[in-house]
Chain A
Amino acid sequence: AQSVSQHNHHVILSEAASLELGCNYSYGGTVNLFWYVQYPGQHLQLLLKYFSGDPLVKGIKGFEAEFIKSKFSFNLRKPSVQWSDTAEYFCAVNYGGATNKLIFGTGTLLAVQP
C-alpha cells in the first residue's frame, strides 16, 4: 500500500539549531515529493518539491530536502531555524496514476524556542 511516514511527531529546538525532519515513503516507482508547511491558523503552503533531476532541492525560507531513491527518503533540512519556523510540516507524495492525488505523512509539529 502507498504510505508516507514521518518519524518525528513533535520536535522542539532552540533558535539557530539545525533541523532535519525525516520522511520515508513506500513503493519504488516514479514519485513526486513535496514538503508543505502549515503555520498556525493558516493554510498548507508548499515549501519545496521534487519532480526529477538534482536530488537536492532548495525551497523557500532556507529549507532544502534531499531525495535518496535507494532509501525511499526525502528528508527536510534547515541549517539554522528561527522562531518563525514554528509550524507543522507535512511530507507528501504523488505516486502518479490518473488523479495524481497526494498521500500525506502524519506531520511534524516543530516548536522553536527563542
Chain B
Amino acid sequence: DVKVTQSSRYLVKRTGEKVFLECVQDMDHENMFWYRQDPGLGLRLIYFSYDVKMKEKGDIPEGYSVSREKKERFSLILESASTNQTSMYLCASNVAGGPYEQYFGPGTRLTVT
C-alpha cells in the first residue's frame, strides 16, 4: 500500500513564526504536491515537485516555499506565518508520465494565532 505521511496532524503557531510541514512517501514516486484545503474552495495547489531539487509554483505560492532534497521527502515552509495561512494542508504524490492517481497524506491542520 502506498503510504504518504505528514509530520503533524495538528499544529498551532504564532504570527511571524517560521513553520515547516514535512511529507514523506514510501512508493518512490517522482511527483510530490502540496495543497491547501479551505471550505468551499476545494484543494488548491501551492507547489509541486517533479524531481529532487526541482519545483514548480502552483496556483497560490505566495507566502510559501518548498524544499525537496530527497526523493521521498517534500517540505512546505511558511517563512513568516500569518493568520490567513490558517488552513488544512495536504501532501500528495504520484508517479511520473501521467496523469495518474495522486495519493494523499492525512493532512495537517495549521492554526496561526
Chain A complexes with chain B: no
Report B's interface with A, CB cutoff 8 A.
Answer: none
